[in-house]
Amino acid sequence: MTRLSVDIVRTLPGARFRLRASFAAGDGTTAILGPSGAGKTMLLHVIAGLARPETGTISLDGRALYGPGVDLAPEVRDLGMVFQEPRLFPHLSVRANMLYGAPKGSDPEAAIALLGLGDLLRRRPADLSGGEAQRVAIARALLRRPKMILMDEPLSGLDPARKGEVLPHLRSLSAAEATPILYVTHVAEEAAALGARILTIDDGVIADAA
């Protein structure tokens, strides 16, 4: 089943090429794999509504997010976003960070269990490791009940030990959740570990991996 459909063109500032992305993503995890500067982050920003394409269409579950006469604001696109940095609020506890932006009455217990956050709920971000903070950011995106989660190299800022801490939780999320994930990375092993369908991007052009 196609969940996300993208067919866009966008000029990349300072690049020698244009982003020409045409693909569909379904349930489970779809990885966009490519080197730095290939257009991966800009692609996620365009899908999320943080940047505009020059031409094209974007739809999610049959609902137009961008196209002729349509340009929905990021907050109404039903997308969760996990950036390279956790971007947690330093004055809020882990529990409050998780629930920030979640619908009123949201129960965080499933996300807490899935991401192993039970012992961290009263801590502040300054008291977390990089891997712990990124798991909180993932839980926050999940609790917003999006129709899809976009992840922009969520492990790139972590050392190997912290990557090893987070990756099993990402595998669990991919296996357990009905919410599909679009996962951007430059590390093929990450995409393979998640059991993702892998699309490659090079010089702004996307293709199915061989």
pLDDT digits (tens, 9 = 90+) for 6-39: 999 998 877 678 899 999 998 889 999 999 888 8
With CA atoms as reference, report the closest residue to 177 among 24, 28, 31. Answer: 28
pLDDT digits (tens, 9 = 90+) for 133-147: 998 999 999 888 899
Predicted local confidence at residue 193, as pLDDT: 85
Q: Rounded CA gap, 204 and 43, in Å? A: 9
pLDDT digits (tens, 9 = 90+) for 41-99: 999 999 999 999 999 999 999 999 999 999 999 999 999 999 888 899 999 999 999 99
Q: Rounded CA gap, 134 and 138, in Å? A: 6
> In what helix (H) or strand (E) does residue 115 lie, and over which residues does it extend?
none
Contact 131, 162 (CB under 8 A): yes
Q: Rounded CA gap, 12 and 132, in Å? A: 33
Burial state string for 10-43 with b = 16 or more CB within 10 A and e = fewer than 16: bebeeeeeebebebebeebbbbbbbeebbbbbbb
Helix (H, G, I), strand (E, B), or coil: what is residue 38?
A: coil
| Interior angle at CA 175, CA 82 and CA 105, nearest 5 | 60
Question: What proportion of the chain, given as a percentage, has pLDDT over 70?
Answer: 96
- When comparing pLDDT for 122 and 194, which is higher? 122
Contact 160, 10 (CB under 8 A): no
Predicted local confidence at residue 64, as pLDDT: 97
Predicted local confidence at residue 37, as pLDDT: 85
Name the pLDDT band for 176 (thresholds 50, 70, 90): low
Q: Rounded CA gap, 152 and 101, in Å? A: 19
Helix (H, G, I), strand (E, B), or coil: what is residue 87?
A: coil
Please tell me whether the overall predicted TM-score, pTM, comes out greater than 0.75 for this model: yes
Predicted local confidence at residue 199, as pLDDT: 94
